């Protein structure tokens, strides 16, 4: 393990200075660019997905959970051996990681944490819209959001007319009936319902007459990739992967945390397949509520922690890299003596990503989406600007 | 005012008389816990847990060893094991029992509140709990305690096998306990597991509003250490919950400033204090209002419920009556967007949809066989609607916030399953007159509604429109 905080800060001093200038307003706006967010629910263990190499503190504290045959990414970090698709992307400069990062939430409740990872706020349940929805509103992307889930995630709320897809096995009633309901909703000032009915009545892509389509994330991602590829298709997509809350039997390479990571990895693969060459104009990011404790617990699992990692995929990435201001894993370096610290506000990554994909000045996003919170513009370090 | 029947229950069915005193009609349903209206077979939680035991033991201890080099053989035998233990059937039977209380009982108001409490003390998706024991847990621990104090329900839910197992408390071992020492001698690391302790505070009793700290959570976990299923070679983790002093963290603990002595009484004492904390009754009053009345309950709404709680020491029938009265008083001002399950039951009740398979038909099931498709209809349907009551994603249960139930796909489900439901109605309810009478009985603006659905000739279309009108979606 060679990485240290000091080295990192030295290496990035010049770019920090430049961060105040914004070049993204000059970016080429003719291309349709896509942003995909994959929500990893339950607390993704960044140290299981992207373990540090050669840290004795780490190996000692998790001896039953150390993975065999990890894939070496650089001198400091390795990759979970089952993340084969991500590794392929990495090798083609289409995959990167931000490590030791999280939203600024430290209380370890899933429900509060998941609420905040979606709203981007500080007080649980205080904000009724998602940071992605607010970013889309700023970019005037009405009707450009697609959730691959049965409910509409909070993350996308804040802009009307988002679509979702989770194939039904039955056929829709006839169009006149849908139109009638739409007009009733409109008359009764039920604007949300009217909007939804409008989408249902008009969309062609997904009502394939009751033929049953798989609802697996890998299949949904293929469909989403094909939609995002279309020039008039959606520009934002959101996925959900559950099952990261492994208090027990987290296991090693074949454990339950691996199962959820593999599901995430299958989304990367199907998106790439569906998008084809448009992967070049796409950015995929993961989002979780917190990482997990360094130390394994009594049931060979881990407890709720703090710092985690963000997986990033797509052609809008600057390069393959593990971007981190590594805080270290010695007891005094840990958050409250137990968790990997977060040295990068994850919202800096998301704000920079929206700035890059939506072609909006970072400072506007910072101010209007994140209430002027103290965020860093990482666009030129992480993305092609 | 007629939305009150739909708000606190599922509307009035064709056989129901219009109550002369609606408030009395509702509150008089809340004093006792009547026998189940389901007249078929009902298994106890213990019997169902034994089936679960046979499944986990058979799989983990027998099949995985026997077929370790034969993937296909393993798959085949595991399927047999599923049927031998009723894995595909029991939860469908439980749904029949559950929905009979809404549709066939004299106490639909009690049923609607039962669903609230089952969701408050939710057992979310984990292992195969839903298929075997969650329904029975909701009957024996939740429903059975609805005429008791909240404390009794909280004590029993917390120490119930389902909750202890669901929230990993069997892995919560005091780091200074005897068991931890033995484990360390064998080179194994064991320690505290905070999961259950955190949810007891956050979801089941005082909520984060009371301002507990991470330290309180750990101290609570220490109090709970040792509460676990009695382990057995054949029972594995399915034994009855007991207090194992060897796994208990020694020494006193402090939660929210109060000291608890080491030992088995610590947990009961801590629960007593938690349920009597002002944050607990405020939290539950808020949740009850949010479930029945509006996403954003006001202080004025919550006040009478908190008062009733204080006066009756958390006696649930009194708390329930208070919330029903508040719902009644606000019924003209607020409409609550109905979650998919309550919407389906409302439609089934008012339109006389034959939702539940008959007891005789369900009792045809023979253990060891594959249930027939129609015996599994409810499981499929609830999954399709997006709200299988035993499969909440997380321990906070299903959401009571309207927006969480709004999306194009969720609306599509209401359209297509309203249509499906129409074809499950008896012939004599498929008449224009039937609908006119039902609308008259259940809506405050029957004239307007009849005019709207009059725009479509076919009855099935009228039915789909009616059950997707704002007046129905919100009650």
Among the candidates A212, A245, A274, a domain finishes at A212
Give yes or no: residues A300 and A314 share one domain. Answer: yes
* Partners of residue A256 in chain B, C-beta under 8 Å: none
Distance separating alpha carbons of residues B342 and B401, to the nearest angstrom: 14
Q: Are A245 and A110 in contact (CB under 8 A)?
A: yes
Give yes or no: residues B132 and B168 share one domain. Answer: no
| Helical packing angle, B377-385 and B90-103, nearest 10° | 70
pTM to 2 decimal places:
0.85
Question: Would you say residue A10 lies in a domain?
Answer: no
Instruction: Test A298 with B412 for CB contact under 8 angstroms.
Output: no
Question: Would you say residue A80 lies in a domain?
Answer: yes
Q: Are A66 and A81 in contact (CB under 8 A)?
A: no
Instruction: Test A298 with B190 for CB contact under 8 angstroms.
Output: yes
Question: Would you say residue A99 lies in a domain?
Answer: yes
pLDDT at position A344 = 98
Q: How, if at all, do strands A344-345 and A95-102 pair?
A: parallel
Give yes or no: residues A176 and A292 share one domain. Answer: no
pLDDT at position A204 = 61
Task: Please tell me which of the candidates A163, A168, A248 has its beta carbon nearest to residue B171.
Answer: A248
Torsion of CA A132, A133, A136, A137, to 10 degrees: -140
Distance separating alpha carbons of residues B423 and B429, to the nearest angstrom: 11
pLDDT at position B451 = 96
Among the candidates A192, A212, A232, a domain finishes at A212
Contact of A384 with chain B, judged by CB distance below 8 Å, is answered with no
Tens-place pLDDT, residues B89-112: 999 999 999 999 999 999 999 999
What would the DSSP string read from start to end of A247-302?
A: SS---STTSHHHHHHHHHHHHHHHHHHHHGGGGGGEEEEEEES--EEEEE-TTS-E
Strand, coil or helix: B58? helix
Give yes or no: residues B353 and B469 share one domain. Answer: yes
Q: For chain B, give the percent of residues with pLDDT over 90.
A: 91
Among the candidates B275, B290, B306, a domain finishes at B275
Give yes or no: residues A110 and A221 share one domain. Answer: yes
pLDDT at position A30 = 64
Question: Would you say residue B154 lies in a domain?
Answer: no
Q: What is the largest CA-CA distance in chain A?
A: 68
Q: Are A307 and A101 in contact (CB under 8 A)?
A: yes
Q: Tell which B residues from 310 to 349 touch A, by Cβ distance under 8 Å.
A: none
Q: Are B302 and B282 in contact (CB under 8 A)?
A: yes
Instruction: Test B415 with A151 for CB contact under 8 angstroms.
Output: no
Residue A30 has a CB neighbour count (10 Å cut-off) of 5
Contact of A71 with chain B, judged by CB distance below 8 Å, is answered with no
Give yes or no: residues A88 and A134 share one domain. Answer: yes
Task: Please tell me which of the candidates A109, A128, A298 has its beta carbon nearest to residue B202.
Answer: A109
Question: Would you say residue A53 lies in a domain?
Answer: yes
What range defines the domain where residue B38 resides?
1-16+31-106+121-147+335-475
User: What mean pLDDT is predicted for residues B166-171?
Assistant: 92
Question: Would you say residue B416 lies in a domain?
Answer: yes
pLDDT higher than threshold 80 for residue A12: no
Contact of B410 with chain A, judged by CB distance below 8 Å, is answered with yes
Among the candidates B236, B260, B275, a domain finishes at B275
Question: Would you say residue A57 lies in a domain?
Answer: yes
Task: Tell me how far CA of residue B449 lies from CA of A176, A329, B468, in angstroms.
Answer: 18, 66, 11
Question: Would you say residue B214 lies in a domain?
Answer: yes
Least confident of A56-65, B118-127, B374-383: A56-65
Contact of A111 with chain B, judged by CB distance below 8 Å, is answered with yes
Q: For chain A, give the percent of residues with pLDDT over 70.
A: 89
What range defines the domain where residue A133 resides?
28-167+215-382
Signed CA dihedral, B56, B58, B60, B63: sign only: negative
Distance separating alpha carbons of residues B191 and A129, to the nearest angstrom: 39
Question: Would you say residue A14 lies in a domain?
Answer: no
Residue B230 has a CB neighbour count (10 Å cut-off) of 14
Mutant choice from B412, B418, B458, B465 vs A, greatest count of A C-beta within 10 A? B412
Partners of A322 in the β-ladder: A97
Task: Please tell me which of the candidates B396, B409, B455 has its beta carbon nearest to residue A180.
Answer: B455
Question: Would you say residue B328 lies in a domain?
Answer: no
Give yes or no: residues A134 and A260 share one domain. Answer: yes
Give yes or no: residues B203 and B96 share one domain. Answer: no
DSSP A176: H
Give yes or no: residues B138 and B166 share one domain. Answer: no
* Partners of residue B183 in chain A, C-beta under 8 Å: 298
Distance separating alpha carbons of residues A28 and A48, to the nearest angstrom: 38
Give yes or no: residues A152 and A122 share one domain. Answer: yes
- Calculate the CA A63 to chain-centre distance: 29
Q: Which is more confidently placed, A31 or A14?
A: A31
Tens-place pLDDT, residues B99-157: 999 999 999 999 999 999 999 999 998 889 999 999 999 999 999 999 999 999 999 99
Question: Would you say residue B172 lies in a domain?
Answer: yes
Give yes or no: residues B1 and B134 share one domain. Answer: yes
Instruction: Test B198 with A169 for CB contact under 8 angstroms.
Output: no
Give yes or no: residues B135 and B213 share one domain. Answer: no
Mean pLDDT (chain A, rounded): 89
Alpha helices, DSSP H, located in B200-245:
214-224
Structural domains in chain A (count): 2
All residues at 6 or more sequence positions from B29 whose CB lies less than 8 Å from its CB, including other chains: B106, B107, B108, B109, B110
pLDDT at position A20 = 42
Give yes or no: residues A286 and A344 share one domain. Answer: yes
Instruction: Test B406 with A192 for CB contact under 8 angstroms.
Output: yes
Contact of B172 with chain A, judged by CB distance below 8 Å, is answered with yes
Residue B159 has a CB neighbour count (10 Å cut-off) of 19
pLDDT higher than threshold 90 for residue A110: no
Among the candidates B237, B259, B275, a domain finishes at B275
Q: Tell which B residues from 423 to 462 touch A, by Cβ distance under 8 Å.
A: 452, 455-456, 461
All residues at 6 or more sequence positions from A39 whose CB lies less than 8 Å from its CB, including other chains: A114, A117, A118, A153, A155, A238, A239, A240, A241, A286, A287, A288
Give yes or no: residues A265 and A355 share one domain. Answer: yes
Mean pLDDT (chain B, rounded): 96
Q: Band the pLDDT of A203: cuts 50, 70, 90.
A: confident
Distance separating alpha carbons of residues A327 and A3, to the nearest angstrom: 9
Distance separating alpha carbons of residues B418 and B121, to the nearest angstrom: 30
Contact of A338 with chain B, judged by CB distance below 8 Å, is answered with no
The beta-strand segments (E) located in B346-405 are: none
Instruction: Test A150 with B469 for CB contact under 8 angstroms.
Output: no
- Residue A148: name the closest of A163, A164, A127, A135 by CA: A164
User: What mean pLDDT is predicted for residues A204-229?
Assistant: 78
Give yes or no: residues B130 and B191 share one domain. Answer: no
Give yes or no: residues A359 and A238 share one domain. Answer: yes
Instruction: Test B193 with A169 for CB contact under 8 angstroms.
Output: no
Task: State phi, psi for A382 to the nearest 5 degrees.
Answer: -105, -30
Give yes or no: residues A231 and A352 share one domain. Answer: yes
Give yes or no: residues B380 and B449 share one domain. Answer: yes
Question: Would you say residue B115 lies in a domain?
Answer: no
Give yes or no: residues B354 and B386 share one domain. Answer: yes
pLDDT higher than threshold 90 for residue B41: yes
Give yes or no: residues A104 and A190 share one domain. Answer: no
Compare all CA atoms of chain B with the CA of A61 and give the residue at the minimum distance.
B189
pLDDT higher than threshold 60 for residue A6: no
Give yes or no: residues A243 and A95 share one domain. Answer: yes
Give yes or no: residues B135 and B175 share one domain. Answer: no
Question: Would you say residue A4 lies in a domain?
Answer: no
Structural domains in chain B (count): 2
Give yes or no: residues B256 and B131 share one domain. Answer: no
Q: For chain A, give the percent of residues with pLDDT over 90.
A: 69
Among the candidates A178, A212, A246, a domain finishes at A212
Distance separating alpha carbons of residues B270 and B466, to the nearest angstrom: 49
Question: Would you say residue B330 lies in a domain?
Answer: no
Question: Would you say residue B259 lies in a domain?
Answer: yes
Give yes or no: residues B143 and B5 share one domain. Answer: yes
Signed CA dihedral, B395, B401, B404, B410: sign only: positive
CA distance B190 to chain A (A): 3
Q: Which is more confidently placed, B236 or A128?
A: B236
Q: Which is more confidently placed, A1 or A95?
A: A95
Distance separating alpha carbons of residues B54 and B48, to the nearest angstrom: 10
Contact of B405 with chain A, judged by CB distance below 8 Å, is answered with yes
Tens-place pLDDT, residues B209-264: 999 999 999 999 999 999 999 999 999 999 999 999 999 999 999 999 999 999 99
Q: Kindly report the CATH number assigned to the domain that includes residue A308.
A: 3.40.720
Strand, coil or helix: B188? coil
């Amino acid at each position: 393990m060679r990485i240290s905080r000091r080295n990192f800060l030295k290496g990035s001093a010049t770019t920090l200075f430049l961060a105040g200038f914004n070049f993204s307003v000059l970016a080429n706006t003719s291309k349709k660019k896509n942003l995909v967010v994959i929500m990893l629910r339950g607390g993704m263990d960044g140290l299981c997905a992207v373990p540090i190499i050669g840290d004795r503190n780490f190996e000692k504290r998790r001896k039953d959970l150390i993975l065999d045959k990890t894939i070496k990414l650089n001198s400091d970090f390795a990759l979970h051996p089952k993340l084969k698709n991500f590794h392929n992307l990495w090798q083609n400069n289409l995959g990167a990681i931000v490590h030791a990062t999280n939203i600024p939430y430290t209380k370890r409740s899933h429900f509060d944490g998941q609420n905040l990872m979606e709203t981007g706020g500080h007080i649980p349940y205080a904000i009724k819209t998602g940071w992605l929805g607010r970013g889309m509103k700023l970019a005037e992307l009405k009707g450009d959001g697609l959730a691959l889930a049965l409910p509409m995630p909070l993350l996308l709320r804040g802009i009307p007319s988002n679509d979702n897809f989770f194939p039904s096995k039955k056929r829709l009633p006839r169009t006149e009936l849908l139109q009638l309901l739409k007009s009733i909703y409109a008359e009764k000032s039920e604007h949300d319902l009217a909007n939804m009915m409008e989408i249902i009545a008009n969309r062609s892509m997904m009502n394939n007459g009751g033929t049953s389509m798989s609802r697996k994330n890998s299949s949904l991602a293929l469909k989403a990739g094909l939609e995002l590829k279309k020039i008039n298709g959606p520009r934002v997509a959101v996925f959900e992967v559950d099952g990261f809350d492994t208090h027990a039997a987290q296991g090693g390479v074949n454990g339950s945390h691996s199962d959820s990571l593999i599901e995430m990895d299958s989304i990367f693969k199907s998106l790439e397949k569906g998008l084809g060459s448009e992967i070049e104009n796409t950015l995929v990011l993961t989002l979780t509520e917190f990482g997990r404790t360094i130390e394994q617990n009594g049931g060979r699992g881990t407890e709720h922690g703090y710092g985690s990692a963000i997986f990033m995929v797509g052609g809008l990435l600057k390069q393959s890299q593990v971007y981190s201001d590594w805080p270290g894993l010695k007891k005094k370096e840990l958050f409250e003596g137990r968790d990997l610290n977060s040295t990068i506000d994850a919202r800096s990554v998301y704000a920079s990503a929206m700035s890059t994909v939506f072609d909006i000045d970072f400072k506007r996003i910072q101010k209007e989406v994140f209430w002027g919170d103290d965020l860093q513009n990482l666009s030129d370090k992480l993305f092609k600007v | 005012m007629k939305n009150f029947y739909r708000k606190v229950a599922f509307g009035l069915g064709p056989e129901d008389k219009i109550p002369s005193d609606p408030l009395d009609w509702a509150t008089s349903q809340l004093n006792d816990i009547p026998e189940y209206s389901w007249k078929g077979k009902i298994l106890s939680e213990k019997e169902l847990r034994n089936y679960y035991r046979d499944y986990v033991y058979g799989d983990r201890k027998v099949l995985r060893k026997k077929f370790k080099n034969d993937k296909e053989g393993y798959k085949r035998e595991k399927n047999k094991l599923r049927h031998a233990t009723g894995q595909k059937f029991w939860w469908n039977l439980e749904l029949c029992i559950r929905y009979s209380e809404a549709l066939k009982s004299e106490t639909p108001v009690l049923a609607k509140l039962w669903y609230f409490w089952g969701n408050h003390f939710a057992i979310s998706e984990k292992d195969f709990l839903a298929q075997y024991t969650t329904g029975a847990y909701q009957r024996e621990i939740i429903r059975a305690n609805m005429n008791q104090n909240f404390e009794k329900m909280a004590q029993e839910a917390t120490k119930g096998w389902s909750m202890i197992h669901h929230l990993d408390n069997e892995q919560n071992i005091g780091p200074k306990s005897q068991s931890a020492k033995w484990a360390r001698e064998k080179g194994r690391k064991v320690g505290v597991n905070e999961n259950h302790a955190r949810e007891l505070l956050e979801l089941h009793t005082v909520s984060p509003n009371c301002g507990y700290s991470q330290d309180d959570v750990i101290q609570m976990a220490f109090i709970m250490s040792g509460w676990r299923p009695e382990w057995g070679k054949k029972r594995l983790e399915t034994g009855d919950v007991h207090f194992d002093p060897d796994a208990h963290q020694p020494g006193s603990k402090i939660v929210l400033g109060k000291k608890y002595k080491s030992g088995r009484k610590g947990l009961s004492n801590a629960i007593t204090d938690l349920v009597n904390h002002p944050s607990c009754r405020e939290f539950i009053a808020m949740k009850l209002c949010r479930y029945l009345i509006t996403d954003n309950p006001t202080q004025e709404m919550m006040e009478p419920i908190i008062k009733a709680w204080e006066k009756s020491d958390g006696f649930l029938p009194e708390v329930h009556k208070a919330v029903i009265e508040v719902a009644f008083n606000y019924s003209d001002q607020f409409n609550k967007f109905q979650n998919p399950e309550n919407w389906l039951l409302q439609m089934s009740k008012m339109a006389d949809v034959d939702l539940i398979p008959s007891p005789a038909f369900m009792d045809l099931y023979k253990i060891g066989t594959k249930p027939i498709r129609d015996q599994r209809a409810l499981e499929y349907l609830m999954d399709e609607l997006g709200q299988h009551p035993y499969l909440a994603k997380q321990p906070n249960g299903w959401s009571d916030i309207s927006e969480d139930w709004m999306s194009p796909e969720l609306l599509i489900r209401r359209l297509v399953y309203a249509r499906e439901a129409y074809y499950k109605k008896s012939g004599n309810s498929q008449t224009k007159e039937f609908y006119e009478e039902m609308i008259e009985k259940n809506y405050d603006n029957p004239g307007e509604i009849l005019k709207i659905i009059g725009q479509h000739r076919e009855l099935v279309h009228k039915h789909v429109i009616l059950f997707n009108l704002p007046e129905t979606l919100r009650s």
